[in-house]
Amino acid sequence: LTESFGVMWPSESTTVVSQRMTRQQILTLISIASVNFSSMICYSILGPFFPNEAVKKGASQTDIGLIFGCYAVCNLIGSLILGKYIVQIGAKFMLVTGLFVSSGCTILFGLLDRVPAGPPFIALCFIVRSIDALGFAAAMTSSFAMTAKIFPNNVATVLGSLEIFTGLGLILGPPVGGWFYQSFGYEVPFMLLGCFLLIMVPFNIYVLPTIDADASKDSFFRLLTNVKILLICYLIFTLSAGLGFLDATLSLFAIEKFNLSPGYVGLIMLGLSLPYCLASPLMGYFVDKYPATRSWFMVTGGLATGLGFCLLGPAPFLNISGPLWLLVIMLGVIGFSLVPSHAQSCLSTLGLVSGLFGAVWSFGMFYGPIVGGFITQNLNFEWAALIQGGLAFLGVSNGERLSQMFNKLFFNRFLLIYHLDLDYAFRLNPCLILEKKSKEGQL
């Protein structure tokens, strides 16, 4: 291991030549891919029709933002706790239990249309979404940690390939959800997906191996004392806030402005997820081969994200009409700029670091729908999108500082990467082995 500034990095001599995958690795790959796909399709299915359905049930735009936001708060809490104790609980047990809980909550959420309008509907939405968020946090945190442990070589390439299935879930969720809702009503999409998740439980019990690792003695507070970590946390926050904002507000904006049906709204949302799905495996391979480019992706990705949000409405001061084609193109720009990069990991510290960054991501997903929904309700979608773009531009200035830090401190293929990302990829972090000596007192 090579030590630099209190961080222990695997040296180049520890690199192992890639070999053909074993049967266990292939089965694990299939299992984790199914978890990524099923979890993300259940998450993304709400976008095209739930906000409109909630309005019919007496919910305001702020209420809808709070419903989306409560999911993120519980995901934040779950990420902190489960990420800290993943080794004690067991990664496999955590993943299977999370899938089971998510399947039940998905089915229950499909029955909420039978609940009376007003406070009963809103309250049950909060309860079911909150419990579902805990299951989702357990499944995703443990699945990423297990993947990084089982595939010790070329982790970025493997995880980039797995992001295809995350992207497929994001891609299929909106159009499938919108089509099933338009054709069969509110309940059918949730029933089908809940049953699919339930079927995955016994499959993962049979396929996944049991992984043992030493528990980490590090703490979240030590991570937060490092300036680099705080800057990275802000980048994660700005990205997830923007995505949470789109989840809660985009469908109502598209329906009102362009008079679209939920099915067509789902197709429009492909503009966000399709570029992400197509570019993820290519980017994973690219940053594995050319690690020096990762810091530049943070800056350029932040600029593209900020520009995309400014033109999404578009911004009121631009005085342009904002046709439908511009909305779709800007969603594509945002989606492409959020392609993840990954790095080498180990289970014990990965659980800790992944919990921290998953928690920050969840906090952004809490802020985005609530604040964005409030601004949209009191001003309009155009101003809310402009503010989200401003957060991304502010993150670019931090990204420039991070770029200088990366170029100065990290010099091999096992770099510390926190590239602009969609949907939870910041849980995949390098094996930060905190120095046991107290003389440094930092990462």
Structural domain spans, the chain: 25-434
Local confidence band at 121 (pLDDT 50, 70, 90 cut-offs): very high
Whether residue 350 has pLDDT greater than 80: no
Judged by phi (left if over 0) then psi (alpha if -120 to 50, else beta), residue 259 lies in: left
Instruction: Report helix, strand or coil for 379.
Output: coil
Q: How many whole angstroms separate alpha carbon 235 and alpha carbon 438?
A: 29
Q: What is the pTM of this model?
A: 0.67
Summarize pLDDT for 386-413 with one digit per residue, the tens.
Answer: 888 888 777 666 555 554 444 443 332 2
**CA dihedral sign of residues 103, 181, 162, 290:** negative
Whether residue 344 has pLDDT greater than 50: no
H or E element, residue 270: helix 270-289
C-beta separation of 394 from 270 below 8 A: no
Instruction: Report helix, strand or coil for 9.
Output: strand
Local confidence band at 179 (pLDDT 50, 70, 90 cut-offs): confident
Radius of gyration of the chain (CA): 21
Q: Is 376 exposed, middle or buried (0-12, 13-18, 19+ CB in 10 A)?
A: buried
Q: Taking all residues of the chain, what is their mean pLDDT, rounded to a whole number? A: 73
Whether residue 168 has pLDDT greater than 60: yes
Per-residue burial over 19-56, b = 16 or more CB atoms within 10 Å of its CB, e = otherwise: eeeeeebebbbebbbbbbbbbbbbbbbbbbbbbbbbee
Local confidence band at 314 (pLDDT 50, 70, 90 cut-offs): confident
Residue 221 token pair: 């507070």
List, in sequence order, every beta strand (DSSP E) within 44-183.
Answer: none
Whether residue 74 has pLDDT greater than 80: yes
Give the mean pLDDT of 80-102. Answer: 86
Residue 431 token pair: 């094996």
CA distances (Å), origin 209, targets 103, 148, 154, 155, 257: 22, 13, 20, 18, 50
Query: Which range among 57-71, 110-124, 245-259, 289-303 shows the weakest confidence by mean pLDDT?
Result: 289-303
Local confidence band at 355 (pLDDT 50, 70, 90 cut-offs): low
pLDDT of residue 109: 92
Query: Which range among 128-142, 171-185, 394-408 shows the weakest confidence by mean pLDDT?
Result: 394-408
Vertex 404 angle, CA 398 and 410, to 5°:
120
Q: Is 357 exposed, middle or buried (0-12, 13-18, 19+ CB in 10 A)?
A: buried
Strand order from edge to edge, sheet including 433-434: 2-4, 7-9, 433-434
Q: How many whole angstroms separate alpha carbon 413 and alpha carbon 411?
A: 7
CATH topology of domain 25-434: Growth Hormone; Chain: A; (1.20.1250)
Higher pLDDT, 405 or 205: 205
pLDDT of residue 172: 80
pLDDT of residue 105: 93
Whether residue 351 has pLDDT greater than 70: no
Whether residue 359 has pLDDT greater than 60: yes
CA distances (Å), origin 120, targets 58, 116, 369, 370: 10, 6, 21, 20
Percent of the chain's residues with pLDDT above 70 = 69
Whether residue 91 has pLDDT greater than 80: yes
Higher pLDDT, 128 or 321: 128
Q: How many whole angstroms separate alpha carbon 148 and alpha carbon 134?
A: 22
DSSP summary character for residue 216 = P
